[in-house]
Amino acid sequence: MYFYKVPKFVDTNLLAFYYTSNCPLFLDEVFMADKIDPKRLSDLNDRLNAKKSVSKKEAKHEDHYSGAHLGWRMVIELVVGMLMGLGIGYGLDHLLGTLPLFLIIFTILGFAAGVRTMMRTAQEVQTEDTVIDSDDLSIKNMDDSDD
């Protein structure tokens, strides 16, 4: 039904690819058109899959935001972790009246937590890189393993 509305000069396959690659909602509408013979449909499907796998690889490469932002993210995580530890420690001390004790302990713990968050961020980026390049650097692939 939809295909009759499309002008002659538009490649319908290309149009279908445009929608499936950008907007999965429209997949139904494209394939709901009942005027297509099944052979052409499966042929189209194959070509779409081929194109999709290519575009997915390209999309992964685009995922990198610039290094400066990654740097800021890590710095903020580090500082926030330490400040949170400081706050928790000071709060506990204020309640219990043991001023330097918990302040010191929780500042150190907070710093460790900041480093932990930062390292996790670094690991995330590294995993992303290794998935893309498929290097055998033997870094454990954290995601996509359980589905």
Partner 1 sequence: MAKEEAGNGLVFHPMDQFQIKTLFGDGPVHWYSFTNVTLWMGLTLLAIFALLVLGTSRRAMIPNRIQSVGELAYGFIYRMIEDVAGKDGVRYFPHIMTLFMFIVFSNFLGLLPMAFTTTSHIAVTGVLAMGVFLSVTILGFAKHGLGFLSVFWISSAPLPLRPILALIEVISYFVRPLSHSIRLAGNMMAGHAVIKVFAAFAAVLAISPFAIVAITAIYALEVLVAFIQAYVFAILTCVYLKDALHPHH
Q: Which of residues 72-131 bind partner 1 (CB under 8 A)?
A: 72-73, 76-77, 80-81, 84-85, 88, 109-110, 112-114, 116-117, 120, 124
DSSP 93: H
Q: How far apart are CA 21 and CA 92, in angstroms?
A: 54
Find out whether 93 and 102 touch, Cβ atoms under 8 Å.
yes
Q: Which residue has the tokens 């710095």?
A: 75
Which candidate, 24, 3, 73, 16, places its Cα nearest to that of 47? 16
Q: Which of residues 29-68 bind partner 1 (CB under 8 A)?
A: 29, 59-60, 63, 65-66
Sign of torsion, CA 54 39 11 25?
Answer: negative
Nearer Cβ to partner 1, position 36 or 112? 112
Nearer Cβ to partner 1, position 81 or 103? 81
- Closest CB 57 distance from partner 1, rounded Å: 11
The yes or no reply on residue 144 touching partner 1 (CB under 8 A) is yes
Dmax of the chain from CA atoms?
A: 82
Binding site for partner 1 (CB under 8 A): 2, 5-6, 10, 15, 21-25, 29, 59-60, 63, 65-66, 69, 72-73, 76-77, 80-81, 84-85, 88, 109-110, 112-114, 116-117, 120, 124, 142-144, 146-147
